[in-house]
Structure formats: structure tokens, C-alpha cells
Structure 1
Amino acid sequence: MTSYSPGPTGPLSVALVSEHASPLAALGGVDAGGQNVHVARLAGALADRGHHVTVYTRRDSPGLPRLVPLRAGVDVHHVPAGPPEEIPKDELLPYVPQFARHLTERWRSRAPDLVHSHFWMSGLASLPGARELRLPLLHTYHALGTVKRRHQGDADTSPRSRIACEREVGLDCDRIVATCRDEAAELRAMGIPADRVGIVPCGVDTGQFTPYGPVAERGPHPYRLLQVGRLVPRKGAAVSVAALARLPGAELVVVGGPAPGRLDADPEVRRLRRLAGDAGVADRVRFTGSVPREAMAPLLRSADVVLCPADYEPFGIVPLEAMACGRPVVASAVGGQLDTVTDPGTGRLVPPGDPEALARAVAALLADPALRERCGAAGRRRVLNRYGWDRVAAATEAVYGEVLAARYAVTRVV
């Protein structure tokens, strides 16, 4: 895929729609994770290439101004849709029509060159305005309802209409920007034609996440295992706790979840602490709660191995951040991790939900410092070659160019 130059019309005005995942949100909450980082970094990288980006996200606090400059070339527009308070994303569907009306009204007065929606409800909110104003619409799902329902079954709290809505968005937008091969295959199974789908991976800030820099203080144990992410069952922290019982001399640090002062009240923390107690490893498991973004790289550098044992993972940014910091990764062989983690090059891929397999892979790495170093160095090289945000933005821009060129060609013919 070649880089696209905007041409005689100059830089593009890009609308990124991310209804629940604000680029300004603190990470680690139930609904704040990889999508927030993706939208923020993609917006910034597109701005670095000369475009102007407006991120449209729902106002979830009464004190938020309508427009917040994120950085040069990027503004965050807070959309009034529903009460200005935090609402779980699976409860936001009733407010999508209000969100859609606001987008349409805004774009009638100041239309962007193209719209790129993120997550299915953002696509649903973007469709009316894109249809009325004939705006090019691209869409990134970040997660698919078919996959979530397959893995969670009755525990899936998504609206029942989610899968049908995702298919509507996929068939009505100009192009789907999938993040990995597994997602593209899932879309084909949903009936989305393959020629409507392009693949551009998520990225990582290779300047922030680097092997060089401060290292977080370690505990008294010889080895440190680190798991980073939202504290929800599908992320597999219970598998890491169970594996720890087979890894004497190692501590497990779990990063993410609520603020440190609210950890004791968190249901998932309580569940994991019970499991750690039952397994006899409670003294070797530590929960940090949410941490500032700038603390993440030092924490990753402090780990001997980073664990990513999710039941399913639509893409997974944590493996990239760990690899960028030169740390080996042991990840479940699911979703985007099949693309990002190479086994045996940058770490190990293991079956999801298998503590014994996770422990075996980790034990082999802990027993061989030279192997850990080789995997870490290979991971850093892989990230620099494929996943820097400059490369991701260039690939995204190329897809934008293909869609705009196709629109232009149709207009010329008509």
C-alpha cells in the first residue's frame, strides 16, 4: 500500500468519531483502553502529516467544554448525547440518535472531507450524516459482536441488535479498516465482501515505549511478570494467577482497573484475590490500579516477561508496547496477537485459558536470560519496522486516498 498525498485540495479535514472512547480519558477503566489510545495517536499522527482532525466523542461530564484542543491540528468535540455522566458503553445505544443528529447538524455547516468512525455505535451515529451529505465514510470496529457473543454467551451485555447494526455499518460505509487478519476473516463470515475491507494495524509510540529510560522499582522476588489492561474477566488475569502457582520465585503485577484507592471495592480485584489465596500465591500478586500513562513504559521495562493471556483480543496494544520496550511477550494465540507476536521470535503464543501452557512458556523464558534478551530485541525491531504511528498513519492515509479517488472517479463519470 503506497502513501497518499492529498493533492491540489491540500490537507484533509478528517472527522474521527469515537462515541464512548475519548482520547482525553484516563486509561484502565472498564470502558477505557486500547481504543482511546488508538484514536488519540492516530489523530496526532494524521496531524503530523498535515491534516486537521476533529475527534467527536460523547460528553460524559457536565464540566467539559464543547471543544478541547488536544494538540496542534487535533481538536476534541464533545457531543451532547444523553446525560453528561459516565455511562457503560453497552447502555449508550438509546443516545446514538441524538449523537447522530448532532453530527449531521455540525457537518451541514462545516463538512469534513471524510469521516472515520471507531466502534459500531460510532458507525451507526455517522451513517445518517454521511448519507445525507454524501461524505466518504470509513469504519474501524475495534471489536466485533459476533466474537464477543461467541466467547461470553449469556454474559454478553451488548445490545441484542449489535450484530445486525455492525453488518449495516459494514455494508453501507465506503471501506472497513480492519486491524488484523482475524478480524477480516470474521467480517467475511458476516457477509461483508472482502473487497470492502482493508487491514491497517494499530500502532505504538516508539518514542515513549522504548527499552531505554526509567525503570519502575521491583519487589523482593527474583522475577517479575507484568499484565496490563482493563480488569475484566476476558483479559485472562485469572489464568496468570493460576500459572503463577507453577512459577516459584516470580511475582505478578497486574496494572489497570480503578484508582488505587478503590481497588478493595472492585469485584474483579476481589475475585482475583480469592483465586490467588486459593492458589497459595496471594503474597506474590500485586494490583496497582490505574496508573498515569507516563508510568506505563517504566513498568513494562521492569518486567522479565509481559503476559497477555486474554480469552480473545480484537487487536491488543499491550503486546506492542511491551515489544517496543524490548520485553518478551507470552500471549494467547487469539485475534490480533496472532499478527503482532511472533513465536519464537518475539515471545510465545499459547492456547487461551490454559494456565499450564502459560506457565511452561514463561518458565522457559525465565530460565534463559539470553533468550529473553533476543526476544526483546526482536520485538523492538518488529515494532519499528511495522507498528510505529508514522507507518500506521501513512497506511491509513493511503486507504483514505483510495476511497476519495474512487468517489472522485464516480463523480467525474456522472
Structure 2
Amino acid sequence: MRIAMVSEHASPLAALGGEDAGGQNVHVAALAAALARRGHDVAVYTRRDDPDLPEQVEMLPGVRVVHVPAGPAQVLPKDHLLPYMPEFGRWLAQRWAGADRPDVVHSHFWMSGLAALEAAEQVPVPLVHTFHALGTVKRRHQGAKDTSPAGRVAAETRVATEADLVVATCSDEVTELEAMGIDRSRVRVVPCGVDVQLFSPDGEAHPPPGDQPFRLLSIGRLVERKGVETVVAALPLLPDVELLVAGGPDQSHIRTDPEARRLHALAEELGVENRVRFVGSVPRTGVPALIRSADIVVATPWYEPFGIVPLEAAACGRPLVGSAVGGLLDSVEDGRTGSLVPPREPDALAAAITRLLVDPEVRARYGEAARARAEDRFSWERVAAATEAAYAEVSVARTTTSRKAATA
């Protein structure tokens, strides 16, 4: 099968850690690679953001990254890219009208969906879409701080309505789509995945233990909605615990990061600054060792479309205590692989962490169950197989519709 993935801002070649680089980059890269291992030919179309980029790069056998000339060839925040989506879509249509016509298109994020719809109007192709995040959820939680372009929710509704199929990453997203008026029959749930070879319980643990008996790890982008503040606020109730906060800029520049400075100020105010360490950005290959160094991984966002950290923690055999929101409701099995608590409630978070810290046997049991669940449900091989089934479904539906139209 010839698969075209459209990922307008999240290139699979992008290094993690930038303002707009993160889980979607990992998802697109890993899914493309897993589909290629299943024998498919995958082309990932992403916007050219550097004039020196070649038009096409072979990421690995069976996966090409194509840089689409849409807008200025420079890095722009993703919220500034909407005006260039019609140009992006017209370029795709020209490409797909020739030898590069795909059997199925899979767009990622709402603006990619708009570009794919623009192309599909000229070159009819089956279209599957994954949102990765929804504007209604972002607006609800961020309010006036939401920087999304005007009309995002209306555009997402159009994409969800006009695509052949929506692939949601979790059950909570299905509920949100239904609230937008999207028919549940047009949605399939396929979760994000994790590399269960790279992320495993076996291997080195780094950095070595600090001065405290127990270690918590929070890892991810340093933005307010990730809720690291809740973990810091819980530390006065966890006297024998140190907190490692990973993410953001390199450690040499971490003190200039606005969110790191805000969190450090809170830690000083609460008298726990000597038990909070900001380690800065960590190369992806170094993340497993960092996770293995922790007794418990914490993920306490206000909201989370899916979140890959719970999967990475599970694959490394570590229990996770997190917010009962979004994708965590699917990725963490409360009372078996970790614990879920209400967001923004430090007391509830501290109580859940304490229950695990005082019982090493339960921690070990949760970790073993988490690893088994990661292998069974969230390996990229499982995710790719489920995604492939979604592609086949829309391809068959398109073929059936075309045959009916031809015989009418």
C-alpha cells in the first residue's frame, strides 16, 4: 500500500525539545517506520522550514520525508501556519496527480487535515485523520491563553465530517468528538505507541540516586498545562522524596526558562528547593535510563490529548501516578499499573504517591503489569496493525462506493 502521511508542522526528522516539537513528531516517525516494516511504502509530507532542506529525504527503507514548499522557508510557530495550508494542499494535489498518487492519506493535526482536504478535492483519495489535540479542549483549559487561530473548532468539525474516517488516540477524544456533533460510527480508536525495545526495564539507570531515599520523575515540555506545579506543591507532604524535572532547554540554560523559573520560585516558597532538580532537555536515547532511575514517574497535566510519557514509563516497568484526564484514562490502569488522581490536587497526588512508596511489593507488581500491558497493547507493531486495518476499511468503502456509482 502507498501511504501518504501529512504532518504540516511535525516533521519526523525534527529533534525533540523545540517549542512545537514533541509527541506528534515521535508518533509520525514511529508509525511510518512500523508501517514500512509491514511492507508499505510511506511518504511523509511536512512543510519546508529551511531553504537548505532537500525536497526529499529517505528517513529509512520504505519511508520518505517530502518537504513541501508552503509559506516562507523558515521555522514558524504552528499557530502561524494556517494561511499556508491552501498552498500546501495545492502542492500535494499536483504531486498526487502523477506517479506519487497514494492509496490512502493519513493527515495529522487539524491544519494538515485542511491541506489534505484541499488536495483530495482535486485528486480523490481515501482520507484518514488523527487530530492529536482538539481546539475545544485547549480552549476550555487555557481560556485567554489559547493561541490557536480563530476558526479552529469550526475547521476541526469540517475535517472530522469530510474525512472518510477519524482515528482517535483515546476514548476521551471520542467523547469530545461526539460533543462536537461527530457521528461515533465515523471514529475508530487507535492509541499512540511506544518503542518497547528502546524503553525497557533492562539497562542502566541514570543519574545515580541523590540524597533522598525515593525519586520522582516528571518529564515533558516545560509548559504550565503539564502541571509540574502540582508535583512541586505535593513535596512538603513527601519528606523523603526528591523530584527530577526533565524537559525544556539544555541544563546550562534552564535557569532562563520562564516555566523553570516559576517552578523554582514555588519550590523556594514551599521550602523544598533542595529536593527539586531541573535536568533540562534529555536526548531521546537517554530517556529510558532516566525513567529507570525513578521509583515512580509522575504526569499531572491539566489535560492531555494522549501523552507518551505514561507509555514510556510503563515500558520501562515503572508505575505512574498521574492526572485522571485525556489519554491517561486509557494508558494507565488505575490500581494495577499506576494510580490516577484529580488534576491540580497536590494532597490527592501526595496520598497516592505515599501509598506506593511505603509498599515496594506493590510498586514492583505495578511495574511488571505496566510492562506487560505496554507490550500487549501499545507496541508500535500493534498500533501499526490497527492503523493498517483503518486504512483497509476506508479503501474498501471507497472502492465499493465507486463501483456502485459506476453501475448506477
2:111 to 114, 121, 124: 121
Letter in 2 for 1:40: A
Contact 1:30–1:232, Cα closer than 8 Å, also in 2: no
Kindly state the Cα deviation for residue 59 of structure 1 after the two structures are TM-superposed: 1.8
Looking at structure 2, the residues matched to 192 and 79 of structure 1 have their Cα atoms a distance apart, in angstroms, of: 30
Kindly state the Cα deviation for residue 101 of structure 1 after the two structures are TM-superposed: 2.0
Looking at structure 1, the residues matched to 83 and 123 of structure 2 have their Cα atoms a distance apart, in angstroms, of: 24
Kindly state the Cα deviation for residue 234 of structure 1 after the two structures are TM-superposed: 0.5
Query: Quick one: structure 1 residues 61 and 283, their matched pair in 2 at CA, closer, same or farther if it must change by over 3 Å?
Result: farther
> What SS does the corresponding residue of 2:105 show, helix, strand or coil?
strand
Query: Quick one: structure 1 residues 381 and 191, their matched pair in 2 at CA, closer, same or farther if it must change by over 3 Å?
Result: same
* 1:234-253 matches, cutoff 5 A: 234-253=225-244
Which sections of structure 2, spanning at least 5 residues, go unmatched? none
2:78 to 76, 89, 97: 89
Partner of 2:146: 156
Looking at structure 1, the residues matched to 250 and 113 of structure 2 have their Cα atoms a distance apart, in angstroms, of: 31
Kindly state the Cα deviation for residue 106 of structure 1 after the two structures are TM-superposed: 1.5
Identity %: 60
Q: Deviations along 1:70-117, whole A, 9 cap, x unmatched?
A: 111111111222222221111211222222222122212221111100
Partner of 1:398: 389
Partner of 2:95: 106
Kindly state the Cα deviation for residue 244 of structure 1 after the two structures are TM-superposed: 1.5
Moved more, 354-363 or 99-108: 99-108
Query: Quick one: structure 1 residues 295 and 343, their matched pair in 2 at CA, closer, same or farther if it must change by over 3 Å?
Result: same
Moved more, 40-49 or 68-77: 68-77
Looking at structure 2, the residues matched to 302 and 43 of structure 1 have their Cα atoms a distance apart, in angstroms, of: 30
Moved more, 138-147 or 91-100: 91-100
Partner of 2:322: 331
Moved more, 72-81 or 325-334: 72-81
Partner of 1:188: 178
1:204 equivalent in alignment to 2:194: yes
- Using the size of structure 2 for normalisation, the TM-score is 0.97
> What SS does the corresponding residue of 2:97 show, helix, strand or coil?
helix
1:76 equivalent in alignment to 2:72: no
Contact 2:86–2:118, Cα closer than 8 Å, also in 1: no
Kindly state the Cα deviation for residue 374 of structure 1 after the two structures are TM-superposed: 0.4
> What SS does the corresponding residue of 1:245 show, helix, strand or coil?
helix
Looking at structure 2, the residues matched to 17 and 286 of structure 1 have their Cα atoms a distance apart, in angstroms, of: 38
> What SS does the corresponding residue of 1:116 show, helix, strand or coil?
strand
Kindly state the Cα deviation for residue 134 of structure 1 after the two structures are TM-superposed: 0.7
Moved more, 270-279 or 26-35: 26-35
1:32 equivalent in alignment to 2:51: no
Letter in 1 for 2:263: L
Letter in 2 for 1:328: P
Looking at structure 1, the residues matched to 121 and 86 of structure 2 have their Cα atoms a distance apart, in angstroms, of: 14
Q: Provide runs of 4+ in structure 1 moved above 4 Å.
A: none
Q: Deviations along 1:236-272, whole A, 9 cap, x unmatched?
A: 0111111122111211111111223332221111111
Query: Quick one: structure 1 residues 113 and 389, their matched pair in 2 at CA, closer, same or farther if it must change by over 3 Å?
Result: same
Kindly state the Cα deviation for residue 220 of structure 1 after the two structures are TM-superposed: 2.4
- Using the size of structure 1 for normalisation, the TM-score is 0.95
Contact 1:32–1:230, Cα closer than 8 Å, also in 2: no
Looking at structure 2, the residues matched to 66 and 260 of structure 1 have their Cα atoms a distance apart, in angstroms, of: 34
Partner of 1:15: 4
Partner of 1:368: 359
Looking at structure 2, the residues matched to 325 and 291 of structure 1 have their Cα atoms a distance apart, in angstroms, of: 16
Aligned residues: 403
Contact 2:228–2:300, Cα closer than 8 Å, also in 1: yes
